Amino acid sequence: MPGTLTRRICICLLAFVAGLCLRARAADFESDQAETASSMRIWHASEGGLPSDSVTATLQTRDGFLWIGTTAGLVRFDGIKFTPLAPDPSSRNNITGVTALCEDSNGFLWIGTQQNGLFELSHGQLSHFAKEQELLSENVTSLAADNHGGVWVGSEVKGTPGFRLARADGQGA
């Protein structure tokens, strides 16, 4: 009898310890889920964050900002708030229909649009490039920076099969 009592005590003690371990493990799992759920936030245009719910391009620049292009404009996100890139009221060229974003080796931001050509943001100044500045098409489809300060601009040229590629020098297209 004394042996069975000792065995029962050991089994109860083992079950108790196993229960504590399982409970601690479940608590870890729940806290992981809570951290994941609390770190995700969704913004909508109706809340005043994005100009449109249709995000078409994103880029994180070396200064840590996240640039978000939409069908209705471009915003910079600092992790807390959205700051729209305000268009020049004297210009007819607006940054809408953003299709591509790229940062060149100088840290300048290049913005491709669906109908308004190419923009370069450098030192807080916005420059616009269109067919008049020898851009092949105002329908920019892609952008890529090279290691020599250049930006490659992919565009769709109407009436010509396929896409065309041109290189901007990073000092103005």
Looking at domain 45-168, its CATH class is mainly beta
Q: What is the pLDDT of residue 4?
A: 64
Q: pLDDT per residue over 134-165, tens digit each?
A: 888 899 999 999 888 889 898 887 766 555 66
Which segments of the chain have a pLDDT < 50? 31-34, 171-173
CB 29 within 8 A of CB 37: no
Instruction: For 91-132, give the secondary structure using H, E and C.
Output: CCCCCCCEEEEEECCCCCEEEEECCCCEEEEECCEEEEECHH
pLDDT given for residue 6 in this prediction: 63
pLDDT in tens, 110-123: 999 999 999 999 99
Across the chain, how many H-helices and E-strands are there? Answer: 1, 11
pTM of the model: 0.70
DSSP secondary structure code for residue 45 in this structure: G
Task: Output the CA angle 52-54-57, nearest 5 degrees.
Answer: 105
Tokens, residue 132? 């008049």
